[in-house]
Amino acid sequence: MILNKVTDILLTQNKITYSDLFSILESINNYNVHYSDIYMQLSYYERLVMENNIIKYNNYNIDNGAGIRVISNNRTGFAYTNQINTSTLQKSILLARDITNKYGTFKVNTLNKQNIDNNVYCCNNPLNNLSMHDKVSLLHNINHIARNMDNRVKEVIITLSGSCEYILITTSDGILTADIRPLVNLLINIRVEQDNKIEWGSASISKRMNYKHLIDKNIDIHDLVHHAIKIALINLSAVPAPAGTMPVVLGSGWPGVLLHEAVGHGLESDFNRHGSSVFSNKLNTLVISELCTIVDDGTLKDSRGSLIIDDEGTPSQYNILIKDGYLVKYMQDKLNAKLMGLDPTGNGRRESYAYLPIPRMTNTYMLAGNTNAQDIIKSVNYGIYAVNFSGGQVDITSGKFVFSTSEAYLIKNGCINKPIKNATLIGSGIEIMNKISMVGDDLKIDSGIGLCSKNGQTIPVTVGQPTIKIDQMVVGGTKIR
Task: Single out the residue of 95, 77, 91, 98 nearest to residue 35, CA to CA.
Answer: 77
Distances (CA, A) of 126 to 217, 305, 462: 16, 17, 20
The pLDDT tens digits of the residues spanning 242-288 come to 999 999 999 999 999 989 988 999 999 999 999 989 899 999 999 99
| Nearest-angstrom CA–CA distance, 474 and 219 | 37
Query: Mind listing the domains of the chain with CATH numbers?
Result: 2-236 (3.30.2290.10), 240-480 (no CATH)
Q: 217 or 404: whose pLDDT is higher?
A: 404
What is residue 481's predicted lDDT score, i.e. its pLDDT? 59
Res 105 pLDDT > 50: no
Residues 6+ apart with CB under 8 A from 405: 241, 386, 387, 388, 389, 390, 420, 421, 423, 424, 425
Rounded distance, CA 212 to CA 204, Å?
A: 16
pLDDT of 113 over the 70 cut: no
- Highest mean pLDDT among 41-50, 106-115, 383-392 belongs to 41-50
- What contacts 476, CB < 8 A, 6 or more positions away? 241, 243, 402, 423, 424, 425, 426
Percent of the chain residues past pLDDT 70, beyond the cut: 95
Q: How confident is the model at residue 108 (pLDDT cuts 50, 70, 90)?
A: low
Q: What is the pLDDT of residue 110?
A: 55
**Quick one: what percent of the chain has pLDDT higher than 90?**
77
Average pLDDT over the chain reads 92
> What count of other Cβ atoms lies within 10 Å of the Cβ of residue 110?
7
pLDDT of res. 104: 47
Number of H helices, E strands in the chain: 10, 25
Burial class of 381 by CB neighbour count within 10 A (0 to 12, 13 to 18, 19+): exposed
- Contacts from 164-167 at CB under 8 Å and sequence distance 24+? 164/43, 164/44, 164/124, 164/125, 164/126, 164/127, 165/41, 165/42, 165/43, 166/5, 166/6, 166/9, 166/10, 166/41, 166/42, 166/43, 167/6, 167/39, 167/40, 167/41, 167/309, 167/311
The CA distance from 143 to 233, in Å, is 18
pTM, full prediction: 0.93
Q: List, for residues 145-203, the tens digit of each pLDDT value.
A: 999 999 999 999 999 999 999 999 999 988 899 999 999 999 999 999 999 999 999 99
User: Count of alpha carbons within 13 Å of 191, Cβ hemisphere only?
Assistant: 10
Work out the number of other CB atoms within 10 angstroms of the CB of residue 402: 15
Q: Is the pLDDT of residue 106 over 70?
A: no
Residue 398's pLDDT band (cuts 50, 70, 90): confident
pLDDT reported for residue 111: 56
In this predicted structure, the answer to whether residue 377 has a pLDDT above a threshold of 50 is: yes
* Residue 429 DSSP label: H
Nearest C-alpha neighbor of 172 from the set 98, 75, 70? 70
Strand partners, 182: 164
| Cβ atoms of 314 and 350 closer than 8 Å | no
Could you tell me if 327 and 279 are in contact, meaning their C-beta atoms sit under 8 angstroms apart? Answer: yes
